[in-house]
Amino acid sequence: MKEFAKDIVRQLFGFRKAREGKIVFSRLTVSRMNEYGISGKTLLDVFRFGKEEKPGMIIQKYYEYSVGIYYKYDHAEGKYVITTCWKGGEK
């Protein structure tokens, strides 16, 4: 019953379960982070709470902009690798 109530609240108010797992950034991601002025904390927030638009792509919308990532799972290391990121929609 408790899980059922949590699902109702998530659906009504748009809350999502946080994605679990360790993440690492590729060299391209670090380069893009510097280019767009995105912090590692922001990318972690996008990974954990963003909306998965299609497999391997997550976007998180903020007040005046959005941040997106592509990721893949590295089975050998047991970690998620963020392969690239971007920031868009600034006013």
pLDDT at residue 8 above 90? Answer: no
Spell 44-80 as b/e; 16+ CB within 10 A means b: eebbbebeeeeeeebbbeeeeebbbbbbeeeeeeeeb
- Residues 54-71: tens digit of each pLDDT: 999 999 999 889 999 999
Indicate the fold that domain 18-88 takes in CATH: YaeB-like fold (3.30.2310)
Q: What is the pLDDT of residue 76?
A: 92
- Residues 17-56: tens digit of each pLDDT: 677 789 999 999 999 999 999 999 999 999 999 999 999 9
Q: Please state the pTM of the whole predicted model.
A: 0.78
Residue with tokens 């909306």: 51
Domain ranges across the chain: 18-88
Strands (E), the chain: 23-25, 51-54, 57-61, 66-74, 79-88
pLDDT at residue 1 above 70? Answer: no
pLDDT at residue 15 above 70? Answer: no
